[in-house]
Structure 1
Amino acid sequence: MIPADKKALLVGRVWRPGIGPALVRLDGNAVTDITHRQIPTMQALLETEYPAATARAAPGDPFCMRAALEVASTETAGGDDLRLLSPPDLQAIKAAGVTFAESMVERVIEEQAAGDPGRAETIRTRVRSVIGDSLSGIEPGSEQAMQVKAVLQEEGLWSQYLEVGIGPDAEVFTKCQPMAAVGSGAAVGLHPISCWNNPEPEIVLAVNSRGGVVGATLGNDVNLRDVEGRSALLLGKAKDNNASCAIGPFLRLFDGNFGLEDLRKSVLRMQVVGQDGFVLEGHSSMTRISRRPEDIVAQTIGTHHQYPDGFFLFLGTMFAPVKDRDRAGQGFTHHPGDMVTIHEPSLGTLQNTVRLSTECPEWKFGTAALMRNLAGRGLL
């Protein structure tokens, strides 16, 4: 579950029975509660001048072992059970789309297929015959990108997805409400109207209210290909439902041992194992991202838009599976019960079971509940 690097400074959130959400630090194999009046929340920790130093120096209460927490964090855990929560609490949950050339092509195919997976392979062949490798290595908004745009327009293949993929403006949307993301071990949800969907393994940045990137973790930004493919105006429905994404297991804070430069070399590996015996494997290399992470952050926060509680930002993925699962030419889609494992050596392993959103535990602990809980514990 955790990085092999023993120098990794890991913090997170855990539900403690009889207490509620706790801010924790991982000390070797011990899970230490560092919640106190100065840093009652993850948001408060990340707003300090030096989050890594603050977290490292914070006094705490070691209350369980990591192995016990990992065993307890399952899709059936809920209520007052011990379990991992997703690291963010008060922060907005944002996501960037179409940030890899490979995923740009698949988004165009979704749009052209109007959400019908049966038409995807025919369209894929035509689109790739025109686009080929022309999108690889393009700097969004550059003169070269505009030349490619002109060619694609002439071929009738220009798309709103290519606009945000190689145009000057990034696609940044709200993935879900604060604290609506689930943690590692929990069930991640598919809206029941979807029949063509897939996982999206991504790096997630932790950004404070000043626009400073202070840490990173893993995320699964589940994608409903048929819903979004029918209309971009359905993006909200396609991206935000009960248990619509997972973040975790822990947040690795940036310090002298780890930072953005290390993330640029990251390779995320993903495996989907179905109860039907189906196995899907893939990877996503951050060296192939079309926009620099700091540029996406700058397009999200600035004089044009403030986030007083900071935000967590999904950086997008190059992974768009096309391996047939049920029938030839239909490509991949999830089945309930799929186990999705996302691993990156410097960030650890995020694992979740796929269910319908209507079958996942209802989300009931929001901002008001957190404030009441903290006030009752004398932390506000």
Structure 2
Amino acid sequence: MSTNQKAFATGVFVGRVWNPAVAGPSVVVVRDGNVIDITSKTVPTMRDLLEREDAAAYAASAEGPVLADLEGLLARGVGTPEANSVHLLAPNDLQAVKACGVTFARSMIERVIEERAAGNPDAAQKIREKVSAVIGESLRDLKAGSPAALKVKEALIEEGVWSQYLEVGIGPDAEVFSKAQVLSSVGHAADVGLHPISKWNNPEPEIVLAVNSRGVVQGAALGNDVNLRDVEGRSALLLGKAKDNNASCSIGPFIRLFDATYTIDDVRNAELTLRVEGEDGFVLDGRSSMKEISRDPLDLVGQTIGRHHQYPDGFMLFMGTLFAPTEDRDAPGQGFTHKIGDIVTIANDRLGALTNRVRLSTECAPWTFGASHLMRNLAARQLL
């Protein structure tokens, strides 16, 4: 039994598919091996479903036509789909797409290395050895913002290895940034894009929380926060250029809504696997354990939404990753970087598997269906 088949055996999974019959997206639920259209005037968008206090119960019982067989939909080959075929979209629509960075000690060290290497992969290994010798295991199990974290901060400043990445990693304030524009995320089996200027990059396997306008976490999905290590490493002010490009954000395959079978504690204890398979025969296996995150998921939500910042349509929140690839792919000491054609699969036994193919952002299908197109489409379908 595949990861997706095991995951979807229980729980309430909702998402979005492109429905050629209406030339637009439909909100769907997975039930009995089928993908069922539950779009209605009550729930014209995923945003509207997540605003309901009874989101899981509503989706579990909502009626509608079957749009596709689940197994067949998930088995579709990667790449740009035909416009006249039913295919998965990112499960989010009107939500802002936010992300928290530097939330795991191991990946935090890699951000420090990127910064000190100024985006040069050739310098990374020597810097990694030096920084690791100074920091050692001092960051493991350290709670961000705690008195113990403050002492470690003071010690690192004395050692001359303080960094802006350590500040957001163990300081009181989390890094929260905008990952992608509304409706620009891609879904399962789509291409993901690398900006052509990048020569040092990697996938980032993460859990993505689905949060409504009241700050209530309604569920979770898998995500790939495609990362350009050299671009951000040159300057933190290039974060937007490193993170927000055409097809650089993948979420899916569905959102699993919280209910009696799946809660925030399942997110806290989640184990993610990552596999990269290259056309050159290269295979990379990685993992990310939410048990090692330095900030609680609900703390990250609270630092994103509140009286200081509102999200009327809710938001999707990437929570960071433990995964930091250091295995050499080509030249010794240069670590891992993507090659065009890589197939990336991120999986979790409770959320399924999210698979994408790597291409350049300039060669991925352009993003053309924005909020205005969605509103016009829904109005034409008499759903608004």
Normalised by the size of structure 1, how large is the TM-score?
0.98
Map of 1:313-332 to 2, 5 A cutoff?
Answer: 313-332=317-336
Q: Counterpart of 1:279?
A: 283
Map of 1:164-183 to 2, 5 A cutoff?
Answer: 164-183=168-187
Q: CA RMSD in A?
A: 1.0
Asked if residue 34 in structure 1 is aligned to residue 52 in structure 2, the reply is no
Asked if residue 157 in structure 1 is aligned to residue 161 in structure 2, the reply is yes
1:198 to 194, 197, 202: 202
**Offset from partner CA, 1:168-216 (integer Å, 9 cap, x none):** 0000000011111100000000000000000000000000000000000
Partner of 2:382, secondary structure, is coil
Which 5+ residue runs of structure 1 have no aligned equivalent? Answer: none
Map of 1:77-116 to 2, 5 A cutoff?
Answer: 77-116=81-120
Specify the code of the residue in structure 1 equivalent to 2:246: N
Asked if residue 18 in structure 1 is aligned to residue 21 in structure 2, the reply is yes
Asked if residue 122 in structure 1 is aligned to residue 121 in structure 2, the reply is no
Specify the code of the residue in structure 2 equivalent to 1:148: V
* CA distance 1:89–1:370, shift in 2 (3 Å): same
CA distance in 2, matches of 1:123, 1:78: 46
Partner of 1:298, secondary structure, is helix
CA distance in 1, matches of 2:307, 2:51: 18
Equivalent pair of 1:9/1:52 in contact (CA under 8 Å): yes
Asked if residue 297 in structure 1 is aligned to residue 301 in structure 2, the reply is yes
Q: Counterpart of 1:340?
A: 344
Q: Counterpart of 1:4?
A: 7
CA distance in 1, matches of 2:39, 2:271: 33
TM superposition shift of 1:330: 0.7
Specify the code of the residue in structure 2 equivalent to 1:18: A
CA distance in 2, matches of 1:256, 1:96: 27
CA distance in 1, matches of 2:80, 2:325: 28
TM superposition shift of 1:4: 3.2
Equivalent pair of 1:78/1:361 in contact (CA under 8 Å): no
Q: Counterpart of 1:132?
A: 136
TM superposition shift of 1:230: 0.2
CA distance in 1, matches of 2:107, 2:78: 31
**Offset from partner CA, 1:339-371 (integer Å, 9 cap, x none):** 001110000000000000001000000100000
Specify the code of the residue in structure 2 equivalent to 1:149: K
Specify the code of the residue in structure 2 equivalent to 1:332: F
TM superposition shift of 1:38: 0.4
Q: Counterpart of 1:223?
A: 227
TM superposition shift of 1:71: 3.7
Specify the code of the residue in structure 2 equivalent to 1:86: A
Map of 1:38-53 to 2, 5 A cutoff?
Answer: 38-53=42-57
Q: Counterpart of 1:258?
A: 262
Which stretch of structure 1 is more off in the superposition, 152-161 or 293-302? 152-161
Specify the code of the residue in structure 2 equivalent to 1:8: G
**Offset from partner CA, 1:270-308 (integer Å, 9 cap, x none):** 000000111100110110000000000000000100000
- How many residues are matched? 380
TM superposition shift of 1:78: 4.5
CA distance in 2, matches of 1:198, 1:248: 18
**Offset from partner CA, 1:48-73 (integer Å, 9 cap, x none):** 11110111121211122112322446
Equivalent pair of 1:215/1:252 in contact (CA under 8 Å): yes
Specify the code of the residue in structure 1 equivalent to 2:334: Q
Specify the code of the residue in structure 1 equivalent to 2:281: G
TM superposition shift of 1:2: 4.7
CA distance in 1, matches of 2:202, 2:377: 36
CA distance in 2, matches of 1:246, 1:278: 22
Q: Counterpart of 1:214?
A: 218
State percent identity of aligned pairs.
61
Specify the code of the residue in structure 1 equivalent to 2:157: Q
Partner of 1:69, secondary structure, is helix
**Offset from partner CA, 1:65-117 (integer Å, 9 cap, x none):** 11232244631204343210000000000000000010110000000000000
CA distance in 1, matches of 2:90, 2:349: 19
CA distance in 2, matches of 1:179, 1:67: 25
TM superposition shift of 1:236: 0.3
Specify the code of the residue in structure 1 equivalent to 2:55: P
Equivalent pair of 2:105/2:322 in contact (CA under 8 Å): yes
TM superposition shift of 1:5: 5.5
Partner of 1:280, secondary structure, is strand
CA distance in 2, matches of 1:237, 1:328: 28
Asked if residue 68 in structure 1 is aligned to residue 72 in structure 2, the reply is yes
Specify the code of the residue in structure 2 equivalent to 1:359: E
Specify the code of the residue in structure 1 equivalent to 2:194: L
Equivalent pair of 1:74/1:83 in contact (CA under 8 Å): no
TM superposition shift of 1:229: 0.2
TM superposition shift of 1:266: 0.7
CA distance in 2, matches of 1:200, 1:36: 35
CA distance in 2, matches of 1:283, 1:72: 25
